[in-house]
Amino acid sequence: MLASEESNSEKPQSEALGITAAERTEREVARRKVINRLKRLEGQVRGVQRMVEEERSCHEILTLISSVRRALDAAGDEVLASYLSDCQTDLKDGHADTAAIIDAVKLARG
């Protein structure tokens, strides 16, 4: 393997794609936000399970389930926003797949 090939294969994928350090940082922040939301969701779902096991009132359980749905939608919104942000860059460069963008929006809308 040539030295230049070796250095390219060891570069992070983001560098190989021409993504700047600021863009990597922005993506990392967005990724952490989604992960934190999902961790909170995980705790809420466990809470629903515990409430059912404890035979809590249906109203309390349904209230928490409603909260879980809203939190899951918010996590989906974060993912979609991040995806669209990436697509916006691709649109400027003339490389965007508009069908994929439309599909992502449809998926997010349920």
Three-class secondary structure assignment of 41-90: HHHHHHHHHHHHHCCCCHHHHHHHHHHHHHHHHHHHHHHHHHHHHHHHHH
Ramachandran angles phi, psi of 94, nearest 5°: 80, 20
Question: Does the pLDDT at position 78 exceed 50?
Answer: yes
Mean pLDDT in residue range 21-40? 87
Q: Which domains does the chain have, with CATH numbers?
A: 15-109 (1.20.58.1000)
Ramachandran angles phi, psi of 57, nearest 5°: -65, 150
Mean pLDDT in residue range 71-98? 81
Distance CA 103, CA 110 (A): 11
The band of 18, judged by pLDDT with boundaries at 50, 70 and 90, is low
- Looking at every residue in the chain, the average pLDDT score rounds to 81
Q: What is the percent of the chain where pLDDT is above 70?
A: 82
Mean pLDDT in residue range 56-72? 95
pTM over 0.75: no
Distance CA 43, CA 108 (A): 23
At 7 the pLDDT is 44
The more confidently predicted of residues 54 and 23 is 54
Nearest to 38 by CA among 98, 79, 89, 88: 79
At 5 the pLDDT is 41
For the chain, the residue count is 110
What's the half-sphere exposure (Cβ side, CA atoms, 13 Å) at 56? 14
The band of 15, judged by pLDDT with boundaries at 50, 70 and 90, is low
